[in-house]
Amino acid sequence: MMNFRRKSDDKLYALVIHSLIRSALKDGDFLQSYRQLAVQLFPFFENAIRRKEVSVSSKRLDELGRYLITLDEEDQVVATCVSVAATAQAILFCSGIQAELHIGVKKIDEKLFAHAWVKLPDGSMIDPQNKYGDLQIIRVLKLKDEAERWAASVI
């Protein structure tokens, strides 16, 4: 999927995917928008499985996530942990990898802190901000499961 000649090419690719995902998720109900995203991406997942295409580096995805967060800190784009995690998950999904989007919370100084990251099938994490450590997981989302739920609802 991301076999570009220059690292700048995959930065641009990640930025475009992030912008599309952020746009899709920002309006309305998050779960409904996430499910629609899953439905739209499902053909890419199936094609990658058939082609046996798995060429995404989790290390590079983590670097790209840090790149998106840096752009946010420089006020060049709006990137949240959810949009960055969903971008990584979508890129993995389109490469035939069924990763999980985790959302966790914890209480800090009487305030609720929430964070999102991606868990790979091998148990490793993609979290450019490295904040998942002691959070209580409240939601786990899988794009394939959401696409299948949608398909079952229309039959």
DSSP for 107-141?
A: EETTEEEEEEEEE-TTS-EE-TT---TTPEEEEEE
- Check if the beta carbon of residue 103 is closer than 8 Å to that of residue 115: yes
Give the residue among 97, 131, 137, 45 at the shortest CA–CA distance from 88. 97
Give the residue among 84, 73, 81, 91 at the shortest CA–CA distance from 13. 91
When pLDDT is averaged across residues 10-26 and rounded to a whole number, the result is 91
d(CA 29, CA 120): 25
* Global pTM exceeds 0.85: yes
d(CA 57, CA 3): 10
Q: How confident is the model at residue 73, as a pLDDT?
A: 93
Confidence of residue 7 (pLDDT cuts 50, 70, 90): low
Q: How confident is the model at residue 80, as a pLDDT?
A: 92
Strand 100-108 with 136-141, pairing: antiparallel
Q: How confident is the model at residue 6, as a pLDDT?
A: 58
- Check if the beta carbon of residue 107 is closer than 8 Å to that of residue 101: no
Q: How confident is the model at residue 8, as a pLDDT?
A: 66
